Structure 1
């Protein structure tokens, strides 16, 4: 696996986060390299203020920090930890790392973007660019050519304005856009000052909907998984969440919008629930939803983290987990494995791990390796999902 990105006789050593002993995936892709080559070919003058959106593991931040003032905004705790490690390892100049939920910086000279998978998140970012910065701030985005659909370009045109694309290079394509349209979304915006643009109306970042069967109302920020409806796995798991006074410490690992956390708080009012996700928007959504559903915020702790790094061992009575199977653009099962290992570490003796997953993922085999065959049982299933319980 290659860890050295070399462009124009300059080399960066880059690693994904967390570093795995038998890593097979690079910490950058051809899209990062295409953006770097394009900007360098333009001979951009030094000391530009560059805003980088969705930098995967810091490749863009590391490269452009040499000659420019870089701010990198990301919704991913894992990506930011990777960026921090790579910036330090390559002895780069300081970069301002911002959470997706933080205020955006003052008007940059240039915005570079790795186009996110989630169109709701992309729309929100494009709308924010238009209303915060107005015209005169060029945007250059990149993604795999096969992922840049006509609908993707229409979003750039809708929220920013004039949009063109490059030729494909190593199966990636650049998107060039300028915030020069007369409106963003449905909200008209005139040739205003920067402060006027900041105050202009924007699309609501929250999507709101109800889970009527469980008496819950959810508000989801744009990059939260399954942000417009309840995913089928969570719907099944909601029906099988336990209620018992012996649960004093409950952990919802990979919490998303917090729907499982909310139901666990309803079923176990005596318990303290910790909600963990690597998405800053997920963490913020959980906090919002606890208040929205009039649950006691003193019984909830929502944190952004890489699985359960630095959590106290033997501290939890119940861990509930709906694992993802991708990191950034890459499909991988190492996250589920790390979640299961971390869950076992933090569970007390006789503590329980409750997992839901697609049938074909074979989580029963992974859990049996950790907890023993006798410690794993099937709780429920349907045509697509299984719910498994593992006891420490």
Structure 2
């Protein structure tokens, strides 16, 4: 019988499992404390859990399924984790230090179906959703690698989690919301909702549902307010127009001190003109928001170009002068291909090259064998 990953279960589900075996429900809380607070990977390390229950847990469940295949470390302190799933697929997580903040960027899918032209993950296509457990485990594997910059190598705590890695989080709604429950619950990782941000290309019904069912922060990848331009860059616009998306954002029931973050990837000669900045500010009028300007991070095969620093600064200034708070996201880890999907894409290209070389070697061996016979 295949064992289920225990990280898939909520506390209530684990309590039910215990009750079915006539085990006291409080034991479920002991188990989750070992899993999420202490990060154990072996049921037999749960020393305050009865020995017989530990055996039964080990017979029924696994703890996680991901393996850490590679860690790339940047000169700026950024760490990119290449994680291998049970089925052999790979995903990425990124640890990003920034002063007192240490942010973990997690993936929610293998590949992505949204097809955004400025994203390396889109070149992989969509493979599958990640489970709740596979999303949560990214944090559990990243925690031991977390260090602060000052002093170097001192253990640090991950302070923020952003759902901005591979995949569209709201396309994998159940996996994303399930992971948020485990990350924020007192029985789980016990993260503050304020420190969890979910980024979306603009799946309108799921955005509304997310804010109704969780207290996570919302980020919307906008990149252009011109219908034609955004449709070319982000095909989802053909389903939810810019007008529909912005109307939905205006109608979202935001708590008094909460605001939406709009992410805007700056692309040279496409959406980085002064007129584009003015149009952006006009379109966002009346929405409680901030804008995160993101200079494009080039990747192999893309014909898009990064806006230069002068253009980025001018764009930011125009938006700010129009009364919209705008910041520029600093590029992190360029020496380790830290942008979403780049490491997995590079690994897949390497694997294809090795496969071709192996095939060529087999062909040569067959020719040699035929000629010598």
State whether TM-score is above 0.5: no
* TM-score calculated relative to the size of structure 1: 0.30
Q: Which structure shows the higher helix fraction?
A: 2
Higher RCO (C-alpha 8 Å, min separation 6): 2
Q: Which structure shows the higher strand fraction?
A: 1
* TM-score calculated relative to the size of structure 2: 0.31
